[in-house]
Structure 1
Amino acid sequence: MIQLPDGFREKMKGLLEEEYDSFMESYHKERVQGLRINPLKISRENFMEICPFQLKKIPWAEEGYYYPADERPGKHPYHEAGLYYIQEPSAMAVVELLDPRPGERILDLCAAPGGKTTHIAGRLKGNGFLLSNEIHPARARILSQNVERLGIGNCVVSNEDSQSLSRRFPSFFDRIVVDAPCSGEGMFRKDETARQEWTPGHVTVCAARQEEILSNAAVMLKPGGTMVYSTCTFSPEENEQVIEAFLFSHPDFSIKDEGKRPGLSPGRPEWSRTGLGDLKKTFRIWPDRSEGEGHFLAVLKKSGEHMSEKKKTMPEYTRDKTVLTELAGFLKDFLVDPAPLMSRKEFILFGDQLYLLPPEMIDFKGMKIIRPGLHIGTVKKNRFEPSHGFALSLKKEEVKCWIDLPPDGEEIVRYLKGETLPQDAAFSRDNKKGWILVNTGGYSIGFSKLAGGILKNHYPKGLRWM
């Protein structure tokens, strides 16, 4: 059994009473592992046909599955192709309760490393706008990498605090996720650092920060919108008590009744301070009752009806004719139908990097932006070089030149290690040179460039297998 902080043990014994022994038994069990299929790349049905792992359905997650502890899906080419995202099973419940719809504007406020963001993006199906924010710069970069790997084009990744964002986006979003930074008690079974850092004082600090973040998020939600608050901790101070404090100071919000959900237990209203609000409508995931780590979730509804919006200041899109001409030339040579992409106007330059912004993104001057949209490529002197992120957003049916390397073969391993390949590996429509979309099992994974009978490797150096 893992070593738990003494103060945590005492606290949970006082809270759970006769349920304490059952709760403690969960720490004798191995934690479960989960992955979530990425519908932007592949359907559940098609994935199950090609899946190389043994999977079992997660009851509360439409795209979620458990996999055995001895499997290593993070070391498979399908992972690099973005066919799935490895995620703790309990965390998948958050977006299920958020229920995002195509065409909506969504904010994932505390987003790293990207589980909720990539889940939301799959539900939007490329239609709508997703702002994914993370206050810590290093974690924001990891978030951006996961957005890229899963081929997401309608997401902006920012590195701001919640108050700064609230000034930029008042009453802007249809739905918001606040997966708040917490004391991490629910992750003690898998996270030694969380166990070492836990103190009662840390819980108090977290609760105050959570209330602040939640209040700032409320400013950004449209009237009639939905917000999901979640933590991976057991502490009532960070869960039921944060929610009732929020409801007291925000009378335009109420807890939305989601009814019973498989695997999810009702919240604990007896752990409130005042009894304000129906806390039985909140949810908890207990490791001794479900196959998942500890989690708390509450769905909040903002009253009122959607009002007509004020005109937003839009970004300054690039009008550089040389850049657009180079891009058009590449797209015409490479894509089967370049018209849909070339009809867009939301291209911007970050230095020599060309991005395509989601149309709903407002002017972001002064904001800390990590990824302003879909990275299309690099503009170099007299040529255009497509990006890895652009490759991952494409399907082989959309391009003129592609290769498909078997996911269990030697060639895909060589590609992921950065090695060159012979031309006879390619389906290239008799091209003697040019860009080739590399696929594995039929799904895009990166670019190569054909020249002199050799496929030069353009898989990013920082991602290459050792």
Structure 2
Amino acid sequence: MSLPPNILRAFSNAPGFDEEAFCRVHDTGEQVSSVRINPAKFSDPAALSFELDRRIPWTAYGYYLASRPLYTFEPLLHAGAFYVQEASSMFLEQALQQTADLSRPLRVLDLSAAPGGKSTHIQSLLHPESILVSNEVIKSRAAILEENMIKWGGSNVVVTNNDPRDFSGLQGYFDVIVVDAPCSGSGMFRRDPDSVAGWSHDLVALCSQRQQRILADIWPALKEDGVLIYSTCSYSVEEDEELADWVLETFEVSSLPLLTDSNWNIVQSFSEKHQAAGYRFYPDKLMGEGFYLTAFKKKSAGSGPPRKGGRGKWEQVSRQVRDGLKHWMKETDFSLISLHENILALPPLMAEELALLQSLYIRNAGVTIGKWAGKDLVPDHAFALSQLTATGIPVLQLERAEALNYLRKEEIKTGTGQMGWHMVQYMGHTLGWIKVLQNRSNNYYPKEWRILKQV
């Protein structure tokens, strides 16, 4: 892929930019594949059907791959055992560990979270009593975000579909806000060569203005001494270092420098006006795509803590339902509430937090257990992929070919005489539910998630 001269000239002022090496790596067409393991579900990466090459050095859970598999046909992906994510963006782990106290409960917002790479990563790093709000402004992308967060299986996540300005009413609510900002996308040129034709100086200027507006909208929601982590997949100084200068000029903040290993070959930059510390990733210097990250600490208190929430728009489940769920769920101290006919399991204190978040459009919160019908539960897919299912629930173990048929929502021949609900598993990892009847079985894998392709 040959990059146009006007693009190369536009990047010439970017710290660490080496035009010759940059062009050479883009000309090769080389692709880097990487995945991140879900530590709550998966402890043996060697069990994967594809070969792992080596660890990504700035994260505990990321691996480079020797070659790119057909991820769609990996049942463990659908079970939430791993996530396919670009390696450079996993540097978020360093930013969180070095700027926030992850040993205590935190309120964290991932503002532009779809499709879910950073949110699943954040969830793996947080204290279990933390609350992660994963937001996406675009409705169709919010659906993808919700799907991936359900597969990941964390119970302390709230998925929202809101504009950044909708969070301004949550004065001083969040300890950490992560803004992976919409950008001109030049850092993905190697992965998406077609995006080169859509790049322009006007697009960079438009994105810079949008980034400023997003940060201004979200700023009131960050608490005093809270941390803002800002990132892009752009090489343009206008969206990176100049944006960092704008933050320092507009808000009462301090730049938060991070420690990096010189062997990682990350380029540390400093903004021209105020010397804000930033971190640049170039594909000619390391195994990863273009990426920029900077972090800030908020100095001013703003308008004070968030207002108290009213009563939630939900009800506590009845004693009959709670007793009926005992053979379905592990013994936990989770709150059980009924919302829109669904039973939700919420970690301690989340119901109180949801009351504060009622001004937002919430797509999903906690774990949806299912619907109570008559005297029994119709279990939800999210419940199967959570960590809350009881050990006594019948399990149907499938081989790879059968597991793929299940994920296509085809009928599965069970060969079991036990009737009723079963969890379907592959290599010990749950894929969903099946209900065994007298002469057939019903596949309850979500229709909208099913695999449509054949191997």
CA distance in 1 between partners of 2:281 and 2:317 (Å): 55
Cα deviation per residue 1:308-358 (whole Å; 9 max; x = unaligned)?
Answer: 956621552533656x634541x22323x4x42xx54352413x3333343
1:118-167 Cα shifts (integer Å, max 9, x gaps): 00111125431000111111111111110011112211111111111121
Provide the secondary structure at the position in 2 that maps to 1:247: helix
Q: Does 1:416 align with 2:407?
A: yes
CA distance in 1, matches of 2:378, 2:75: 24
Counterpart pick for 1:53 among 31, 50, 55? 50
Decide whether the 8 Å contact of 2:173 with 2:306 is kept in 1.
no
1:429 aligns to what?
Answer: none
Q: Check 1:264–1:371 CA distance in 2 against 1; reply closer, same or farther (3 A cut).
A: farther
Q: Deviations over 1:76-105 (max 9, x none)?
A: 111111000001111111233123625211
1:286 maps to which residue?
Answer: 282
Q: Which residue of 1 aligns with 2:431?
A: 445
**Structure 1 pair 298/366, CA: closer, same or farther in 2 (3 Å)?**
closer
String of CA shifts for 1:231-286, please: whole Å, max 9, x gaps: 000000000000111101113x11112122452523433x63xx21x33x310001
Worse-superposed segment, 109-118 or 154-163: 154-163
Match of 1:353 among 327, 342, 360: 342
Cα separation, partners in 2 of 1:246 and 1:264, compared to 1, 3 Å: farther
CA distance in 1, matches of 2:213, 2:335: 37
Summarize the Cα distance change of 1:423–1:286 in structure 2 as closer, same or farther, 3 Å threshold: closer
Structure 1 residue 209 displacement after superposition: 1.2
Moved more, 207-216 or 231-240: 207-216
Could you tell me which runs of 5 or more consecutive residues in structure 1 were left unpaired when the two chains were aligned.
Answer: 427-431
Distance in 1 (alpha carbons) for counterparts of 2:68 and 2:174: 41
**In structure 1, what is the Cα distance between the partners aligned to 2:328 and 2:385?**
15
With over 3 angstroms needed to count, the CA separation of the structure-2 counterparts of 1:18 and 1:59, relative to structure 1, is closer
- Give the whole-Å Cα distance in 2 for the aligned partners of 1:435 and 1:14: 61
The answer to whether the Cα contact below 8 Å between 2:37 and 2:45 also exists between their aligned partners in 1 is: no
Q: How does 1:22-61 map to 2 (within 5 A)?
A: 22-29=21-28, 30-42=30-42, 46-55=43-52, 56-61=54-59
**Offset of 1:174 from its aligned partner?**
1.3
CA contact under 8 A between 1:98 and 1:177: conserved in structure 2?
A: no
Q: 2:320 corresponds to which residue?
A: 325
- State yes or no: 1:374 paired with 2:367: yes
Q: Do residues 403 (structure 1) and 395 (structure 2) align?
A: yes
What amino acid sits opposite 1:325 in the alignment? Q
Question: What residue is the counterpart of 1:256 in the other structure?
Answer: 256
How far did residue 383 of structure 1 move? 4.6
Question: Is the Cα contact below 8 Å between 1:178 and 1:217 reproduced in 2?
Answer: no
State the partner residue of 2:20. 21
Which stretch of the first structure deviates more once superposed, 385-394 or 61-70? 61-70
- The reply to whether residue 138 of structure 1 matches residue 132 of structure 2 is no
C-alpha displacement of 1:61:
1.7
Q: 1:415 to 1:134 in 2, by over 3 A?
A: same
What is the aligned counterpart of 2:382 among 389, 399, 410? 389
CA RMSD of aligned residues (A): 2.7
2:289 and 2:180 mapped to 1: Cα distance? 15
Structure 2 runs not aligned, ≥5 long: none
TM-score w.r.t. structure 2 length? 0.88
What SS is found at the alignment partner of 2:293? strand
Q: Is the 8 A contact 2:106 2:127 kept in 1?
A: no
Report if aligned partners of 1:132, 1:157 keep a CA contact under 8 Å in 2: yes
* 1:97–1:299 Cα contact (<8 Å) kept: yes
Instruction: Give the AA of the match of 2:138.
Output: H
Query: CA, structure 1 residues 423+31, in 2 after alignment: closer, same or farther (shift >3 Å)?
Result: closer
Is 1:303 the counterpart of 2:299? The answer is yes
The Cα offsets for residues 42-93 of structure 1, whole Å up to 9 and x where unpaired, read as: 2xxx322422221121111211111133422342111111000001111111
Cα deviation, residue 106, structure 1: 0.7
State the Cα distance separating 1:194 from its structure 2 match. 2.9
SS in 2 for 1:301: strand
Identity across the alignment (%): 31
What SS does the aligned partner of 1:197 have?
coil
C-alpha deviation, 1:305, in angstroms: 8.7
Secondary structure of the 2:20 match is helix
Tell me how far apart the structure 1 counterparts of residues 300 and 171 of structure 2 sit (CA, whole Å).
Answer: 15
Q: Distance in 2 between matches of 1:286 and 1:310?
A: 40
State the distance in 2 between where 1:145 and 1:118 align. 11
Give the C-alpha shift of residue 175 in structure 1.
1.2
Q: In the alignment, what sits opposite 2:94? A: 96
- Give secondary structure in 2 for the equivalent of 1:362: helix
Measured at CA, do residues 328 and 393 of structure 1 come closer, stay the same or move farther in structure 2, by a change above 3 Å?
same
Matched-pair contact (CA < 8 Å) for 2:110–2:178: yes
* Alpha-carbon contact 2:80-2:152 (below 8 Å) kept: yes
2: CA distance, partners of 1:215 / 1:375:
34
